Structure 1
Amino acid sequence: MRVTFVGVGEAFDECLPNTSLFVAGMTGESRRTVLLDCGFTAAAAFFGCPSLSDADRRDGPDAVWLSHFHGDHYFGLPYLLARMQEQGRAQPLCIHGGEGVANRVWQVVELAYPNLRDRLDFEVVCLEARPDAPLVIAGFSARAAVTGHGALCLGLRLETQFGILYYGGDGAPTPACRELASGCALVVQEGYGMLPGMAGHGSVAEAVEMAEAAWANTLAVVHVRRELRRERGAEIARQLAAASIRALLPEPGEVFEA
């Protein structure tokens, strides 16, 4: 499993692209790829990410996962679809997300580029995910659980042949999220604040506690509030270094391999 941090920023960070991960892994004898979230600035970051191969940036992912329907997690879809159309994509694209995903996807595409949907030379299939129901995303087994966010947000456990990932989207981890994170090679969790108590958001402390309790191999903290990351980054680094597991504050383009 190879996970590229395309973006690691929160909604309005002017320096860091919105949090988005490109996951490549094996299912059987096939290499498959998933883009986890695609916000305002994430699509441009994807096509410009130097850690991705030319082929991956040209072909795009096999599937997209949308944790929830806030702009910094899915408003990059029109850019993604239009760019892949220009680059000659022919294979279908599956977009997975919560209830109403098809309406959300096509509404934002129509607002950005009217008639793009009719001009696409590849099929876009929107599939609803439900908490606790088994999922298959780009051939990978997966499960979802509701996080502690203001809007309905789904954390995701994605199982590749050589590694398991948990991606929390936004919000503090719930007991169901902690269960999904159990034994994962990589847990990617929001740390918008330093300490618990921010309505609708998780904290660095909660991310560390969750990953340690889950016996995860590695924790990556993303979506840190922009002022906090700039002004207290060294303090966050010390907090992560004190964890009983490997814990990091990744930069855009950083790669994790299991």
Structure 2
Amino acid sequence: MRVTFVGVGEAFDEREPNVSLFVEGRGVKGRATALLDCGFTAAAAFFACPGIAAAEREAGPDVLWISHFHGDHFFGLPYLLARWHEAGRDRPLAVVGGPGARGKVAAAVDLAYPNLRAGLHFALDIREVVPGGDFDLAGLSGRAAPTGHGAPCLALRLTDGERALYYSGDGPPTPGCRELARGCDLIVQEAYGLSPGIPGHGSVEEALSLAREAGAGALAVVHLRRELRRERGQDIRRLLTAAGYPSGLPEPGAVIVP
């Protein structure tokens, strides 16, 4: 499994693109690629991301996972669809999210480009999943659990049979999230602040606790409040390095192979 950080920023960070991860793995059907979340500023960053080959960017992933329906996590979708349509993509794209995904995705795309869905050169397979069982993501195996975000949000456990990734979306980890993360090789946790207690959001302390509890070999903290990243970023890097996670505060384009 190979994970490229397309974006690492919170919703309104003007310097860092919204959190988005490009995952490459080998599933039951062979090589598979997944893009986890793509907000309003992440879509353009995807096509400029140095950690992803140019041909791979133009071809696009096999599946797009949407953790929840805030703009900084899925409003980049119309941009992606239009760009891949122009590039001549002809293989299907699966878009997978929680309850309401079909209506939310259709509404966002139709508002941006009213005739796009009907004219796409490729099939758009929008699927809704619920916590409680495994589901297929282009040959990779997924499982979800609700986080403690202010809006319904699903954390994702993604595995290719050899390595497992936990991606929080937004929100502090719930007991279900902790179970989901257990044994994962890489934890990617949203941390808006340093300490717990920010309504609807996680923290660096909770990310460290989750990674230790899960036995993860690698941790990536994303979605830091923009002022905190600028003013305390080096301190947070030193803290994460001291805890055994030297790649714990990735920059856009960073690659982790758990």
State the TM-score, normalized to the length of structure 1. 0.97
Structure 2 unaligned segments of length 5 or more: list them. Answer: none
C-alpha distance 108-230 of structure 1, shift in aligned 2 (>3 A)? same
Determine the structure 2 residue equivalent to 1:125.
Answer: 125
Provide the C-alpha distance between the structure 2 equivalents of 1:161 and 1:131, rounded to a whole number of angstroms: 20
Whether contact under 8 Å (2:93, 2:124) holds in the other structure is: yes
Alignment of 1:88-99 (within 5 A): 88-99=88-99
Alignment of 1:136-147 (within 5 A): 136-147=136-147
1:52 Cα deviation (Å)?
A: 0.5
One-letter amino acid matched to 2:229? R
Determine the structure 2 residue equivalent to 1:60.
Answer: 60
1:214 aligns with 2:221: no
1:197 aligns with 2:197: yes
1:29 Cα deviation (Å)?
A: 6.2
Alignment of 1:96-111 (within 5 A): 96-111=96-111
Provide the C-alpha distance between the structure 1 equivalents of 2:151 and 2:144, rounded to a whole number of angstroms: 15
Provide the C-alpha distance between the structure 2 equivalents of 1:10 and 1:65, rounded to a whole number of angstroms: 18
Provide the C-alpha distance between the structure 2 equivalents of 1:152 and 1:185, rounded to a whole number of angstroms: 25
One-letter amino acid matched to 2:192? Y
Equivalent residue of 1:111, what SS? helix
Whether contact under 8 Å (1:186, 1:217) holds in the other structure is: yes
Alignment of 1:1-258 (within 5 A): 1-28=1-28, 30-244=30-244, 248-258=248-258
Provide the C-alpha distance between the structure 2 equivalents of 1:184 and 1:246, rounded to a whole number of angstroms: 17
One-letter amino acid matched to 2:22? F
Whether contact under 8 Å (1:25, 1:161) holds in the other structure is: no
Provide the C-alpha distance between the structure 2 equivalents of 1:96 and 1:251, rounded to a whole number of angstroms: 26
Provide the C-alpha distance between the structure 1 equivalents of 2:58 and 2:244, rounded to a whole number of angstroms: 39
Whether contact under 8 Å (1:212, 1:245) holds in the other structure is: no
Provide the C-alpha distance between the structure 2 equivalents of 1:25 and 1:161, rounded to a whole number of angstroms: 9
Whether contact under 8 Å (1:211, 1:219) holds in the other structure is: yes
One-letter amino acid matched to 2:15? C
Whether contact under 8 Å (1:172, 1:201) holds in the other structure is: yes
- Number of residues paired by the alignment? 258
Identity of aligned pairs, percent? 60
1:174 Cα deviation (Å)?
A: 0.6
One-letter amino acid matched to 1:98? G
Whether contact under 8 Å (2:146, 2:176) holds in the other structure is: yes
Could you list the structure 1 runs, at least 4 aligned residues long, displaced by more than 6 angstroms after superposition: none
Structure 1 unaligned segments of length 5 or more: list them. Answer: none
1:235 Cα deviation (Å)?
A: 1.8
Equivalent residue of 2:240, what SS? helix
C-alpha distance 210-63 of structure 1, shift in aligned 2 (>3 A)? same
| RMSD of equivalent CA atoms | 1.1
One-letter amino acid matched to 2:91? Q
Equivalent residue of 1:22, what SS? strand
One-letter amino acid matched to 2:144? A
Equivalent residue of 2:131, what SS? coil
One-letter amino acid matched to 1:55? A
1:59-82 deviations in whole A, cap 9, x for unaligned? 100000000000000000000000
Provide the C-alpha distance between the structure 1 equivalents of 2:52 and 2:247, rounded to a whole number of angstroms: 23
Provide the C-alpha distance between the structure 2 equivalents of 1:257 and 1:215, rounded to a whole number of angstroms: 16
1:245 Cα deviation (Å)?
A: 5.2
